[in-house]
Structure formats: structure tokens, C-alpha cells
Amino acid sequence: MRLRVRLKSLAFLSLVSLCGVIYTFTGSHVGNWIWESDKPRRVARISADDLHTLRGYPWQAPAPATVGSSTSKLTLNDTLAHLPKGKTNPPCDRTCQFRRLREQTLVADAQIHSKGLLKNNNASKARVTPHMTGLAKVRESLKECDRACRIAKLKSTRLMRGGYSSRVRVENVTLPNSWTVTRELIDRLSARRSHVKEVCKKYELDRPSENYQPNAWEFLVNEEYGLVWCNVFKAASSTWFYNFNLLAGFSETELLHAKDTPIQLARKKYPRPTVDELHKAMNSTPQPLSFMIVRHPLQRLVSGYRDKILSGSRFYSKLARTIIKQYPELGPGETRERPKSWGVFGKNVPRSVVPSFPQFVQFLLDEAARGQKLDEHWTPMSQFCTPCLVNFDVFAKVETLEEDGNYIIFSAGIEDVIKPKRINRSRNEPTDAVADKFLCQLSQQQMKGLLQLYKYDLELFQYDASKYVNCTVT
């Protein structure tokens, strides 16, 4: 009994001593240790130019704000004077907080001044005042301050390993210095729009019905640059999510090293609009440039299968097991070794069996026959973006994306804002080169079902599937 009491006492004393050591260490270094040693897991927002600035250049405090305020006697130099001498790290908190305080003060002064002018029936003079001019200068100075702080923080932040760029293949895209729209391109894009309208009218899809309603859920609206885009998965979606994220203010480094996917980052900046909000955006003045990017529906299906099923994606593992169990006669499935991330301490786990392409297609056809909602990666494009109910300006195609993409970029005037990249989630052969290998495994009955499922996609966007029909198994 006494031994137990002694052991408990020793354990308690050890714990108290450990807490004392930790408190002493953190308490005496709280001003320096947190700044120098704390490694945030998320990458600071920074551009490629900022990275170049980091190479051996010491941080310098931004120039002090020159605007004055009647309610504040402090100056930026007074704030900097209170900082400890010999510090090379930027005074992010104190400096930027001071400028934010100045901004709030100027806003309050401007509102009071504007109300006074309105009472005197002199509203026109309230638009431009010394207070508002000073506010603009402070905001610009605040941006410089935040940028300098991000640069300094990045110096002590290791870029995230295993980020987004490690999971995809990223290729740089060089935009031409100048670009002229050809008559041939204008005619081609105009012919695509006219053809879509004709097919929509032919099948009476140009009016909403019980089974065909506008789908605003997948649209991204950028009001600043006048762009409206409906994302079609497996049709250059990763590339254009990257572009839209650049327009939203994310940096190249943040996008390529972030743990989040491009769509997760995008939805932080582009909330999903309602049908009314989409209609309002499409009819705003000046009218935005609206577009969607399409792809051969059967090649898009193969791309979705390779990316989500054949790759052994953990998020689709349950679906893969269900498909194998339901359609054993269409097997055997293909064997794939799971990534190291599946294992413990980086070790590989046993090889997995994934559904064969015929098994996957049969499951897809049966789900569609039962009226079930299909996964976004193989839902028909005509249902996903409802082009018969949305008046798109441009129907770009993956097959001609370089020219179509340049038209969108230069027409919207964003060629100097973005640094586009071509992002491919598959590190192996491109899908268009191996599509025959997968589609020719199908039976004639399965191919007939796919042609019916993607009937509107094939006709709306003028794609030919005859070469895949002719190679099917009898």
C-alpha cells in the first residue's frame, strides 16, 4: 500500500516538474519562439515573384502611411519605434493592426462627413472627400504590409510535402504576347451555339420540365472579371479550377502545395449560386462571358473510370466492392497495388481488385435505368450544366481547348492576371490514346445502352461514336 502511495507521489511530482519546465521555456521565449519555430501547416499565400524576393533579400518595413486623421495622433513611425531593436522579422501584428485601425477610423470619419453633406443637400460632394482619398491610400499600404508579412512567414515555413502538385501532372502553358481572333474560330463557335439551340428545340429541352430543370449548383460566377463557368468534371475541370482560383486571389504556390483540392479552394471563394442568382448574374450589365467545356462523352467516361475506379481511389473503394459483388460474371476485375498512403508507416498493403470496365459500365447502366442519380464524374453533360436552359456564349471543347481557351482568356481580358497551367490527373497515357482499349471490351448491348445514356451529349456537341460501336464484342 505504501509503495503505491510513493509511486503516485513520484509520478505527480514528475508531472509538476515537467509542467514547470515547459512553462519556463515558453514563458521566457513567448516573444521569439512562437514566431521563429511555429510551423503552420498551411502555406502562406504568395506568388512566384514573392518567392524570387526571398532569395537573400532582407525584409524592409513598408513606407509609413502619409494620410492623416483627425481622431488619431499616432503615426506609423511611433508604432515601429516601440519594437525591439535588432529584429529582422517584420512587425506584422503591430504594423498591420495599426493600419487596420487607421482604416476603420477613416471609414467612420467618411461616413460622418457624408451624412453631414447629405443633410446640407450636397450629396454630390460626398462622393470624393479627403477622408475617402486617405482611406484608399491606407488600404493600398495595408496590402503591401500583408504581402511583406506573408513573405517573411514563408521563410520559416516548409512548403507542404505531398500537396496537390504531387498528386497530378502539371504542365506550364505559355500564352502568346498578342492574340487575334480568326474568322474561322468565330464561325466555329457560332455554329456550335446554333447547333445546340437546334437540338434543344428538336427534343423540346429548351423549356423547363419536371425532369429537366436548370442546374445552377455547378456554376462559378466571377463578377470582378465578368466570367461565368459551368464546371464539367473530366473535361479540363482541374485546369480551369486552377485559373478561377488565381482570379479569386490564391497564389500559385498556395494552389500547388495546398492540401485541399482546387474545387475545395474554389468553393471558399465561389459559393454555389441559386437559379435566381445565376439568372441575375447572366443578365447583369455589362454581360459576362459564359462558357462550358465539353468532351467526347465516351472518352470522358473512360477518364472517370481510370481516375476514380481503376486507380483504386479510397473514396470509391466501397463502390468498387459493390460493383464486383453485383456483377461477378463480367469479371474478373483488374488487380492494382494500393498507394503507400493506404498502409501504415508508408508500407504497401495487399494488392486490391478493382472492377473491370464492363462491370463498371453495367452498374452505370442499371443505375440509370432505375432512375438513380449518377456520380458527377459520369453524369451526362446535358444534365449537369443544362445547356438547353442556359444561354452559353462559348461551348469550348477539350479537343480544341488551346484555341478555345485562348479565346476565353483574351476575350475576358485576364491574360495578364493568370498564369495558366495544364493539369492532368492521370500520370499515364492520355485517355484519348487508350479509350479504344476499354470501350472495345464492351458488348454490343452495353454499347447500345451507353449511346442511349449519352444520346443528347453526342448530338448536342456533335461527337461521333461509330468507331467504338464497330469494335464491340458480339
Tens digit of each residue's pLDDT (9 = 90 or more) over 258-306: 778 888 999 999 999 999 999 999 999 999 999 999 999 999 999 999 9
SS3 356: coil
Q: Give kind and range of the element (H or E) at residue 394.
A: strand 394-397
* 361: nearest Cα among 441, 474, 468, 295: 441
Check pLDDT > 80 for residue 464.
yes
Tens digit of each residue's pLDDT (9 = 90 or more) over 136-192: 666 666 666 665 564 455 444 555 555 666 566 777 777 887 788 899 999 999 999
One-letter amino acid at 158 equals R
Full DSSP string of 188-254: HHHHHHHHHHHHHHHTT-SS-BTTB----TTEEEETTTTEEEE--TTSSHHHHHHHHHHHTT--HHH
Please, what is the Cα angle at 108 between 104 and 113, to 5 degrees? 145
Q: How many CA atoms lie within 13 A of 409 on its CB side?
A: 27
Cα–Cα dist 175/310, whole Å: 34
Distance (Å) of CA 223 to CA 282, 285, 385, 458: 10, 10, 19, 32
Residue count of the chain, please give it.
Answer: 474
SS3 352: strand
pLDDT band at 394 (very low <50, low <70, confident <90, very high): very high
Full DSSP string of 26-81: HHHTTTTHHHHH---SSPPP--HHHHHHTTTPPP-PPPPP----TT----HHHHHH
C-alpha cell belonging to residue 319: 463502390
Q: How many CA atoms lie within 13 A of 327 on its CB side?
A: 20
Q: What is the pLDDT of residue 88?
A: 40
pLDDT band at 95 (very low <50, low <70, confident <90, very high): low
327-341 mean pLDDT: 69
Strands 169-172 and 334-336: unpaired
Q: What is the pLDDT of residue 382?
A: 97
Tens digit of each residue's pLDDT (9 = 90 or more) over 7-28: 666 676 677 676 665 555 444 3
Q: Torsion-angle region of residue 386: left (phi > 0), alpha (psi -120 to 50) or beta?
A: left
Q: What is the pLDDT of residue 78?
A: 39
Please, what is the Cα angle at 242 between 158 and 438, to 5 degrees? 110
